[in-house]
Amino acid sequence: MNGLFSLIPLIVFIPFIGVLINLFFGRRLMPARDSIAPGVIASIMSGGAFVIAVLMWIGLLVNPKGADVPFLTWMNIPVGNLTFAIPWTFKVDTLSSVMMLVVTGVGTLIHIYAIGYMKGDVEEQATKRGFSDQEATDFMRRRFPRFFTYLNLFLGSMLILVTGNNYLMLFVGWELVGLCSYLLIGFWFDDPVVGISNSSAGRKAFVVNRVGDFGMVVALALTFWTFGSLQFNEVFARAECMKTKSQAECLTVGGDQAPTEVTPAEGGAAVSYNTPVSFGGFSAPLSAVVTAITMLMLLGATGKSAQIPLFVWLPDAMAGPTPVSALIHAATMVTAGIYMITRSNVLFSMAPASGNLVAIVGALTAFVAATIAVAQFDIKKVLAYSTISQLGFMVSAVGVGGYAAGIFHLATHAFFKALLFLAAGSVIHGMEHGHHAVSHHGHDEHAEEHAFDPQDMRNMGGLKDRMPITTWVYIIGALALAGIVPLAGFWSKDEILLDASRENFLVYILLTLAAFMTAFYMGRQVFMVFFGSPRTEPAAHAAESPSVMTTPLIVLAVLAVIGGAMNLPFGSLNFLTVWLHNSVANIRIPAPGKDFSIVVALISTVLALAAIGASYLLYGQKPLSEGQPDPLAATGPLFTFLNHKWYWDEFYAAVIVGPYKAISAFLANVVDWQFWHNYVHETLITQGLYIGISGILSQPIDKGLIDGTFDGIGKLVRSSSGELRRTQTGYVRNYALAVALGVVLILASVMVFLFRAR
């Protein structure tokens, strides 16, 4: 089936062709203001990538070992006695195929949704800026294709990330998706009201991710110097070899000897590998080095996958258009960290300390983010913190070694979180539509001028009658997220909880509490938004979204319902675990009967139902009316603390950003401007040296010496001529005397000459 696998480069190039088409021909493809051609083309390209992903899946069904499809050699640099060889080779195996299918499948649905959504969003922006018809058409023809250029660019970059066969290609994709995230978050950088905060949010995402990327780069460097290569197969083969043999022997082990099945150490005790790894000047034991590498990779993952302490960018990233939030910050980009950890499972299994740290970080993040989500009022912020919390679930799953559970949750989370975000976008659109209807036809002509936040849940209410489709898909998504059987979220979350309960009890407790709060805040959100009666005029006039937006919602809702069938924990129904076992060495097929615990499942279901019941009591039974404060606000300072997101941003501002800005102001104003520019340049060099030396050169030397010399010559000529002129007396007798004297001299010399000759 190698022929089929060789199509894999297309999965990256088809989206990039879409980028080029929309980049260069986007405007020409939109003859009219309401043309949607660029969006259709982008969706077709995304769909093409999905087709390739499906073909790869079919190929892997026949040949589960997959293949490495070489494409080109990027670098081949000899370094000491190692070689820095980075080929761009596509790795088709079961893990990357799961990622490819999720990314391209959910991505294509979001592309289709974005056609309708961005049409409305660009029109909204044109209205906000008061454009005339001609200006608005121009604006639409420029911005609409740009969005789809960025979306396709993101898709291609994410696919580079998941199909790379070495850490550097993964890192290239890593950085590119960070760039696309920046571009898309700050898409409305010139919005007249929030333009600056949009671009600040984009910058915050980029900068915070950079901190994580620093960890990644150092981890990559350490990996290369320890194992002599960055290709996954080779690194893992050499790591396995170095458990028993010395480093020098293992540096030439080829990638074909990568471990395919890792048996857990006997007795479960942590084994410490003491093979010395030399770094030129010093050496360290293998365990320590691998622990360092994996902890630095964790730092990278906390940046990209929004874990503590680098999660602060994701809520701000909600400033981007909703399809961006759905695609990048829910389903795909943020999962890159989990993919990377799963890919590096061999290294993590050699460093149990890192695994514990990963699990704790994930669990803490899940807990903290869930508490914050309980107290948010913006519909997208709730979902953002929910995403951070669910990513915490995934991260702690891979931390305790439940790689299959983590990837399973990654996939199901992509379905229902994308669904929730897109449905939230639909809700926001409906609210804006209602706002326009009220201000144009309603009794409040000045409604447009009042600040109206269409995303604030306190302005919503009773939308289930106005937007039925959105309501029902949202409820399905919320139930899936809360983990209600038999929706997809239940199976994946339950598997994570089971793995955690067996490996790390603290993690299990934190995750269970987070699951309880998850169900609670989703119930809160559903009751506040869709039930009760409308709290504001725009909510009363909201309208359902067009079918180009609701159709992808329905598809995602179906996936959220049946997605659990991927990996049911009963007997041989655990398709995904078996599938992933082919690529992830540390996934073990559980023995029959040990893959499901009724106790854990019961606890989580009871807690979820209790949480939904509690949210009903607080928000559903007596629906909030306009202006009524949130019942939870009765807890006073606790609610404020959660609402202000544990003051995390304020903490960073005081501890990191403040001193950084102070240092940079000092360096810029004092060191650079006052010292370097004013003192060194202006005073020393310009005034002192330059003007001084040129003063010396110009006055005494040029004027005095050189001018003096040449003037002196002239004066000399004049004076000597003045003297010599005195021989020209005009008196004949003087001339006659001169003649006579001359004759005498000549005669005398001739006579002397004659007499001397004698």
Partner 1 sequence: MDETLFLAPTSFYVVLSAILFSLGVAGVLMRRNAILIFMSVELMLNSANLAFVAFARSFQDVGGQVFVFFVMTVAAAEVAVGLALIVAIFRTKKSIDIDELHNLEG
Binding site for partner 1 (CB under 8 A): 725-733, 736-737, 740
- Which of 270, 738 has the CB closer to partner 1? 738
Cβ at position 731, least distance to partner 1 in Å: 5
- Which of 70, 742 has the CB closer to partner 1? 742
Cβ at position 727, least distance to partner 1 in Å: 7
**Cα–Cα distances in Å, from 97 out to 60, 162, 260, 677?**
8, 8, 17, 57
Longest dimension (CA), the chain: 155
Cβ at position 725, least distance to partner 1 in Å: 4
- Provide DSSP, 392-412: HHHHHHHHTT-HHHHHHHHHH
Cβ at position 751, least distance to partner 1 in Å: 14
- Determine phi and psi for 277, rounding to 5 degrees: -110, 120
- Provide DSSP, 613-671: HHHIIIIISS---TTPPPGGGGGTHHHHHHHTGGGHHHHHIIIIIHHHHHHHHIIIIII
Cβ at position 749, least distance to partner 1 in Å: 19
Q: Are 248 and 257 in contact (CB under 8 A)?
A: no
- Which of 706, 737 has the CB closer to partner 1? 737
- Which of 533, 729 has the CB closer to partner 1? 729
Cβ at position 697, least distance to partner 1 in Å: 42
- Which of 610, 741 has the CB closer to partner 1? 741
Cβ at position 733, least distance to partner 1 in Å: 6
What is the C-alpha to C-alpha distance for residues 709 and 704, in angstroms, rounded to an integer?
A: 8
- Which of 62, 724 has the CB closer to partner 1? 724
What is the C-alpha to C-alpha distance for residues 198 and 128, in angstroms, rounded to an integer?
A: 16
Which DSSP category does 674 fall into? I
Q: Please list, in sequence order, all residues whose beta carbon lies within 8 angstroms of the beta carbon of residue 358, skipping any fewer than 6 positions away.
A: 294, 298, 301, 341, 348, 395, 396, 398, 399
- Which of 207, 747 has the CB closer to partner 1? 747
Q: Are 323 and 118 in contact (CB under 8 A)?
A: yes
- Which of 659, 742 has the CB closer to partner 1? 742
Cβ at position 755, least distance to partner 1 in Å: 18
Which DSSP category does 320 fall into? S
- Which of 3, 730 has the CB closer to partner 1? 730
Give 551's Cβ-side CA count (13 Å radius).
11
- Which of 506, 745 has the CB closer to partner 1? 745
Cβ at position 710, least distance to partner 1 in Å: 26
- Determine phi and psi for 73, rounding to 5 degrees: -95, 125
CA angle 272, 274, 280 (to 5 degrees): 140
Q: Are 380 and 424 in contact (CB under 8 A)?
A: yes
